[in-house]
Amino acid sequence: MKIDEKQIGTFVRFSSARISDWILDGLTTWARDEFADAFYPHSFINLFDHPVEGLEALYGASTQKTKRAIRSAVLRLGAVCRRDCREHSNLTDEERTTLQFTFLRLAESSLCFEASNIIASMACEDAPLWEDKAFGKELAAACIRCLGNMAINHEKSSFWRPALAGPIEAALLRFVTSSPYFEPRMSPFLLAALVSVSPEKLSDHLTLCGDGITELHRQEPEQRALAHLTALAIVSKAPLSLFRNFSSLDFRYRDSKDRWLVEALFATAGPLQLRWYGNDPTKPLVSPKGRPKQVITLRHDDWIGFQPESTIDLQVPAHDSKALSQLAAGRVSVQNFFHNAAVGRQVVH
Amino acid sequence: MALSSRTKKILDRLTASLRGQIFLCNLDAGITSGLIDAGSVYRVLKTVKARDVTRMHDSDLLGHLKALLQHPSANLMLRNDRTAHFSDFACGEPLVTTMRREDFDAFYAHSADLIGGHAFAVRTVGSSTVRFRPSATTNPVVWVAPRRCFVSRTIVQSDAEAVRDTLGLVHHGKRVPLVAMHFQPPSDSCFRPTAIEAMPNPRFRQNDPLAVGELRWGATVNLDLLDVASSGASVAGMPELALSRVGINTCSNVEFFDLGETKTDRDTYTTDMKFLERLLNAATIDVIVARLEGHLTI
C-alpha cells in the first residue's frame, strides 16, 4: 500500500491535537473491537495488514508537523496502556496487551524518545504485576528491546536532541538495576544501547554490563566467539572514550574483568589490530583494521600478559573493512564473514 | 427492489479507479459463484453515509468498505462457502504464510532471543527459529498456501522475492524484508478467500469453487509470470485458503524463516492494467457493473 500526496495533504490541514485524538481513539477502538471502522474517516489505515503498518507509512511520508502529532499520540497511547491508567481501567488483559505491543512497535519505529520513561515503567513496574509470569517476562524483554533499539538508532531521527540522552540512559539503567527480568544474555545489547546514547560514560557502562557479559561467556562459551560484534559497536559509537579510558581497563589475567573486551577488540574478526615496535611491550600501536596508517599508542602494563588472537597484520586485505561494515549493517552472516576475512590474511604471532 | 442511488454512487466511485474495478470484478465473480451473499453486500453498502461516498478519498472509501464488509453486523451472512476442507488442502504438510520482518519482530518473535547474546544485530537469510512469543496470535485473517506445492524447500525458506511473487503479495514492494511462518493449525476451520478478505490486494482473483483439482481452492497470481506472460497464458501461483485468527502456541510444527529482502517492486500501474484485462476477459467494466447491479437488486 502506498499513501499518495493528496492524503498527506489532508493531515497537513489538521491540528496536532486532532490527529493525535484520531490515532488514539482509532487504536483503542480497534483493540476493543468496538466498531467496524476504527479509523474512520481516514479509513485507508484498514487497507494495511496491521494498523501500525498504516500509521508507520503515514509517519514516513508526513511533514514534521504531522510527525510531531503522531509522536504525541504514541506518548498518549503509552500512558493509556499502563496498568494504573484510570481513564482506561476497563481494558481487558487481552486488549491491554494488544495496545502495549502496538505502543512499543510505534515508539520504536517513530523513535519516540520521549516515551522512554513510560517504557521503563512498563518493564519494571507493570511487567512483574502480570499473573502469568511468562507474559511479564515477554513484556519486559519487548520493552527493553524497544528502548535499546531507540538508543542504537537515535541518529536516524530528526527529533533527536542531546538532552534526550539522559532519560533514555536512565531508563536503560533502571531496567538493569531494578527489573527482575534482566538476564546476562541481555548485557551486550544493553551495553551497545548505553554506549550509543552516552559514549562518554563508556567506563561506567563497562562496569555495569561487564559482569553480565563475563557471566554470559561462562554460561554460553560459544558467545565468546561473537564478542567482536559488541567490540565493533563500541569502536563505532565510542572510539574516543575507548582510547581515552583504555589505561583504566583491567585485562592482565584470564579472569580480569575487561579481558573479554580487549580479546574481542583484537580478535581475528575484531575491529582493531596491534603492532609491536621496539622492546617496550607496554606500548603497542593500535589501528583500525584496514586502515594501518591510522595509529594510536595504547600504553598499558597489562599488555605484558596479553596474547591477542591476531597481533600483526602485515598486509590487510582491502575487502576487510567492507566486510566489517557489511557485518555491522547485518548484511552478511557471521559464518560468511569469518570465511571471507580469513582469506588472504597473514597473521604473525 | 431498485438499487439505491447511494449504492449506484459507490459502484461509480469504484469504477473510477483501477483497483476499484479489480475489486468489482472479483465481487461479481464471488456473487456469481455463490461464495458471497448479494443481499448482505447490498445491505452493508446501504450503511455507507451519502457524504462519505462523495467526499472520501479513493483509498479511504475502499478502506471503509473493507472494514464494513469484513465486520458485518451479526444478522448479515456474507459468506455462503462451507465446502473447503483444510486436510485435503495441506495433505499433512505444514502451511506457509508470510509477514514483514518488522511485524515478526514486534508481534511474533521472542524478544529476549532477539536481543540475547552478542549477535543481536546480525541477520542471516535462511536462518530459522522455532521459538516465538507465547501470547502471539495471527492477524484476524491468515492467508495460507500448502508447503507441498512449492517447487523447492529452499525457496520457501530463503527467497523473499520468489515467495512474494508466487504468493501474489504485490503490496510488498522493493527491499521489504520478509519472514515465512511454516505451521500446522489446530483445527480444520478454513475458508475459500473472496474479494472481501482480499481487499485491497489488487492481484486477487476469484476462482470457481466448482472447478476441479487444485483450482477448487483459491489460486494466487504469480507476479513474475504476470509481468511476462501473454494474455492467454496461465499466471497461476499457489493454491490458497484463509484461516481465522489463530494463537501460535496452539499450532504445531511452527518454524519461522528469515527470507531476506525482496528485490523488485511489482506494484505498478501497467501490471494493474494487465491484470484487470485478464479479469474482464474481453468484457468491459460496464458489463460487470451492470451484472453486479442485477445481483444486488435481487
Q: Please choose, from the candidates A315, A310, A302, the residue with its C-alpha nearest in 3D space to the C-alpha of residue A349.
A: A310
| Cβ contacts of B200 on chain A, cutoff 8 Å | 1, 47
Grid look-up 481513564 returns A87
B112 CB near a chain A CB, below 8 Å?
A: yes
Which of B107, B117, B123 has its CB closest to that of A226? B117
Cβ <8 Å between B116 and A183? yes
What is the structure's pLDDT at B82? 56
Show the 3-state SS of B196-207. Answer: HHHCCCCCCCCC
Q: Which residues of chain B have pLDDT under 70?
A: 1, 74-76, 80-85, 188, 214-215, 298
What is the structure's pLDDT at B119? 85
pLDDT over 60 at A151, yes or no: yes
What is the structure's pLDDT at A341? 34
- What is the least distance, in Å, from the CA of B105 to any CA of chain A? 9
Cβ <8 Å between B63 and A47? yes
B114 CB near a chain A CB, below 8 Å?
A: yes
| Cβ contacts of A335 on chain B, cutoff 8 Å | 124
What is the structure's pLDDT at B26? 93
How far is the CA of A184 from the CAs of A125, A209, A260, B118, in angstroms? 20, 8, 14, 11
Q: Please choose, from the candidates B173, B226, B200, the residue with its C-alpha nearest in 3D space to the C-alpha of residue B26.
A: B200
AA identity, residue A108: E
| Cβ contacts of B158 on chain A, cutoff 8 Å | none
AA identity, residue A140: A
B213 CB near a chain A CB, below 8 Å?
A: no
Cβ <8 Å between A138 and B67? no
What is the structure's pLDDT at A349? 28
A322 vs A298, higher pLDDT: A298
- What is the least distance, in Å, from the CA of B67 to any CA of chain A? 5
Q: B13, B120, B131: which to substitute to probe chain A, counting the most A Cβ within 10 Å?
A: B120
pLDDT over 80 at A174, yes or no: yes
Neighbours of B218 (CB within 10 A): 26
Show the 3-state SS of chain A. Answer: CCCCHHHHHHHHCCCHHHHHHHHHHHHHHHHHCCCCCCCCCCHHHHHCCCHHHHHHHHHHHCCHHHHHHHHHHHHHHHHHCCCCCCCCCCCCHHHHHHHHHHHHHHHHHCCCHHHHHHHHHHHHHHHHHCCCHHHHHHHHHHHHHHHHHHHHCHHHCCCCCHHHHHHHHHHHHHHHHHCCCCCHHHHHHHHHHHHHHCHHHHHHHHHHHHHHHHHHHHHCHHHHHHHHHHHHHHHHHCHHHHHHCHHHCCCCCCCCCCHHHHHHHCCCCCCEEEECCCCCCCCCEEEECCCCCCCEECCCHHHHHCCCCCCEECCCCCHHHHHHHHHHCCCCCHHHHHHHHHCCCCEEC
ipTM score assigned to the predicted complex:
0.91
Q: What does the pLDDT average to over A151-167?
A: 94
B62 CB near a chain A CB, below 8 Å?
A: yes
Q: Please choose, from the candidates B151, B88, B109, the residue with its C-alpha nearest in 3D space to the C-alpha of residue B255.
A: B109
Cβ <8 Å between B66 and A47? yes
B200 CB near a chain A CB, below 8 Å?
A: yes
B99-158: per-residue pLDDT in tens? 999 999 999 999 999 999 998 877 889 999 999 998 899 988 899 999 999 988 889 999
pLDDT over 60 at A141, yes or no: yes
B47 CB near a chain A CB, below 8 Å?
A: no
Cβ <8 Å between B111 and A142? yes
Cβ <8 Å between B199 and A47? yes
* CB of B194 closer than 8 Å to CB of B79: yes
Long-range contacts of A216-221 (CB under 8 A, 24+ apart): A216/A184, A216/A185, A216/A187, A216/A188, A216/B117, A217/A260, A219/A184, A220/A185, A220/B117
Q: How confident is the model at residue A322 (pLDDT cuts 50, 70, 90)?
A: low
B120 CB near a chain A CB, below 8 Å?
A: yes
Q: Please choose, from the candidates A71, A273, A205, A37, the residue with its C-alpha nearest in 3D space to the C-alpha of residue B62.
A: A37
Q: A44, A229, A234: which to substitute to probe chain B, counting the most B Cβ within 10 Å?
A: A44
What is the pLDDT of chain A when averaged over all its residues? 85
- What is the least distance, in Å, from the CA of B280 to any CA of chain A? 23
A273-320: per-residue pLDDT in tens? 988 877 788 888 899 988 888 888 888 999 887 877 655 433 334 444
pTM confidence score? 0.88
B51 CB near a chain A CB, below 8 Å?
A: no
Which of B120, B133, B135 has its CB closest to that of A188? B120
A67-124: per-residue pLDDT in tens? 999 999 999 999 999 988 877 778 888 899 999 999 999 999 999 999 999 999 999 9
How far is the CA of A96 from the CAs of A45, A83, A139, A201, in angstroms? 21, 8, 11, 37
Q: Burial level of A12, CB count in 10 A (0-12/13-18/19+)?
A: exposed
Number of A/B CB contacts below 8 angstroms equals 143
* CB of B120 closer than 8 Å to CB of B203: no
d(CA B71, CA B63): 12
B117 CB near a chain A CB, below 8 Å?
A: yes
* CB of A316 closer than 8 Å to CB of A292: yes
Cβ <8 Å between B118 and A227? yes
- What is the least distance, in Å, from the CA of B69 to any CA of chain A? 9
Cβ <8 Å between A105 and B102? yes
B278 vs A328, higher pLDDT: B278
Show the 3-state SS of A278-315. Answer: CCCCCCCEEEECCCCCCCEECCCHHHHHCCCCCCEECC
